[in-house]
Amino acid sequence: MRSIDNCDLAQTTRLRDRLKNGGNMVVAEGYLLELERRGHLQAGAFIPEVVLEHPEVVKALHEEFVHAGSDVVVAFTYYGHRAKLKVIGREDDLMELNLRALKMAKEVAVKTGTLMAGDICNTTIYHGDDPSSVEEVREIFREQIEWAVQSGADYIIAERFEEFGEAKLALECIQQFGNGLPAVVTIAPHVEDKTKDGLTFPEACKRLEEAGADVVGLNCCRGPSTMLPLLKEIKKVCKGPIAALPVPFRTTSEEPTMEVLTDPDTGMPAFPVDLPRFFCSRTQIAEFAAQAKEIGVQYIGLCCGNASHYTRLLAEEYGRKPPASKYAPDMSKHYRFGNKEFVKKHHTPGQQD
């Protein structure tokens, strides 16, 4: 394992090189809900025990997302921090979980020629007016960042922050402990159009950019239709690359986040187990990608609810042709709904060659 003091200089520039001069990145997130859906993660605590219990499943999902067009393998350390593991009595597994997740991600990234990102996130214990809380969160960030550096991460994602203060602290820790690695910092846009500590999302992103974040933006909570208006405002005030990673659910102005979607059949909250009825169509995801590209979003992806077919659509809209594009739908070949000449030739008795 490499020394923190010997991080490859070229490695620290890979993200920046990809984004300079208007370049873009497709980034598959969404491991949490996808692995819950597949029966390997418990909704509620949402802790990535699957990294220890079924690592082959995580590795396969990494490979699946790259096959679909992701330029980055994100180590599955979201909610794999000390505070969350303490909730389920597995704090002693903290280092092993993080190092395994990072090693798997790095192996897939090297094999596929993609970037590998370390990941830190909202801690659920941050209280900006409590110095002891701030120091506890700082320590959580420090250890995960240092493990990511040691494991060869190309950059660090700091994601899903509800408060600007915690996002800023995460950025400061990346700058202090990340040995020069770039920082992508994203805010979670809940129902109100501002952070929990009172900043509008554009102002929060602007301040993070001015503080040195390489990419700023929004991830999680809101679907494409309720995140796009915010992205337009963020782009107006930020000079550098902005990120957009909504959830692929049909949120509305009345119910702008996945957490407040109501199942019309039961009148109960859909989050988390009944969210599937609100999935966006593939056409809606393609339209989101096209609009995001027009706005100028350079760092594009999807968060909770993402799946490989959605990632392929983002990649294609952003000019890629990933391996999965070989299998993109072509209904002209369908025996019933296809091109008339094709149907006549291949599916009419006596017409086959």
Residues annotated within a binding site for Zn(2+): 220, 303-304
Per the annotation, where are the binding residues?
220, 303-304
Burial of residue 84, with CB atoms counted within 10 A of its CB: 0-12 exposed, 13-18 middle, 19 or more buried: buried
Rg over alpha carbons for the chain, rounded to the nearest Å, is 21
Residue by residue, DSSP assigns 211-269 as TT-SEEEEESSB-HHHHHHHHHHHHHH--S-EEEE--SB---SSS-BGGG-B-TTT-SB
> How many Å apart are CA 340 and CA 343, to the nearest integer?
5
> How many Å apart are CA 120 and CA 160, to the nearest integer?
9
8 Å CB contact between 161 and 187? yes
> How many Å apart are CA 86 and CA 187, to the nearest integer?
24
8 Å CB contact between 177 and 146? yes
